[in-house]
Structure 1
């Protein structure tokens, strides 16, 4: 283990020690109260993120209609929809099903629905990405995840569920922040401040190599690329793309 790795582990231990009261609060269930206020925080953060990433999202979603079923409206499932920050980028007339594990997003989601009346909203389901049993097999043309796989409990299980609900030839679109290159100082700080991000951003982890799970999922065609987003430095490394079932 080199000196940088030793220093990283020592600093991470210090931060973990400082966040011990938060760890205890989570074990005691006190952090559940945060679930009520987190949607308000995310609504503001999503607005700022969307402004900086609007061009990237337009580029990402411009191919959605390629995956519609003949002349029928596009059937789209958004996993971890939050406050509906992506709705403005979806093509007119597509049918949207939304899922999120936090029921308290519903009021903010309704505001986005009212604002984006070019879409048809089928359902909002309170469910984790690992358990989408309310969505039928092979029923969706497109599944979308943006800034979701950083906080799910089991990334491979979520991707497995995504593939289950996609029809053959359907596509999984993703935009996620990921772990930096291990040779960089950003990697160092991502690991050191990981405990703070986890507790203050509702389980967000800055140290995930999410692309490895997507690459291992067995999509018939995978378009994935890494880029540096113009956002807060700890989440600057991003991946974007889509995988076809």
Structure 2
């Protein structure tokens, strides 16, 4: 099966040569303007299917609020702001995303979730959030982001730097399937084209291994099957404590 997987992956890579060329010459950047439109529609569908899981995940946010203090949440790769409605009412939110074209949709989400206080939106990658001070937030949120960052370990180092001692890192990410399954086979075969469809998204990452090695004092992580298409059905969710 491994040989067959490599063969078909090569075939798909060959079929993607025009896309590879577009990226090499810089034409793929045009998709950065289109992707927020696609993600806005997809995020609505994702939230409907994952609503119960998100309620479960963010229920623990209140544990990281200091008595008498406003909870400060930093969201990495905030996208269209579909997580906002799950945050604790009254908390302060800082948003970051490497794509500035999401701001239009963020304004809509901010208007719809006026129970929150929005501090600022920063154009920044997960690997470099130098504009955020050390140990300055109570919680960091990251959903469907670690699949597309250039370096998961560096992103997690930034999370660790930004979190106050005892702060929480909340995550929900799709991951690679079990190697014995056909889902694993097709994840690897279709990865070359999925990369472009998902603006750098990789469905073959073992993200949980990076979280386990990140040096958090406590890690609450579990694997779940999301009610989604087989390519992104395997998920991990939970939170880590600095």
Q: CA deviation at 1:57?
A: 0.1
1:52 deviates by: 0.2
Indicate the residue corresponding to 2:187 in structure 1. 190
2:18 aligned with 1:13: no
Aligned to 1:235: 232
Aligned with 2:130 (options 133, 138, 145): 133
Task: Note if 1:50 corresponds to 2:41.
Answer: no
Partner of 1:178: 175
TM-score, normalising length from structure 2?
A: 0.99
Which residue, 6, 21, 25 being the options, matches 2:22?
A: 25
1:222 is aligned, of 205, 219, 223, to 219
* 2:84 matches 1:96: no
SS in 2 for 1:62: helix
Post-superposition Cα deviations, 1:208-244, rounded to whole Å, max 9, x if no partner, equal 0000000000110100000100011100000000000
Matched, 1:205 2:202: yes
Return 5+ residue gaps in structure 2 as ranges: none
Deviation at 1:70, TM superposition (A): 2.3
> Does the residue aligned with 1:21 lie in a helix, a strand or coil?
helix
SS of corresponding position for 1:204:
coil
Q: Which runs of 4+ in 1 moved over 3 A?
A: none
| Aligned-residue offset at 1:200 | 1.0
Matched, 1:157 2:163: no
Q: Structure 2 CA distance, aligned partners of 1:125 and 1:111?
A: 17
Cα deviation for residue 201 of structure 1 reads: 1.1
Residue 107 (1) aligns with residue 101 (2):
no
Post-superposition Cα deviations, 1:83-121, rounded to whole Å, max 9, x if no partner, equal 000001001100000000000000000000000000000
Equivalent residue, structure 2, for 1:34:
31
Give the match's secondary structure for 1:193: helix
Measure, in 2, the Cα distance between the counterparts of 1:54 and 1:113.
19
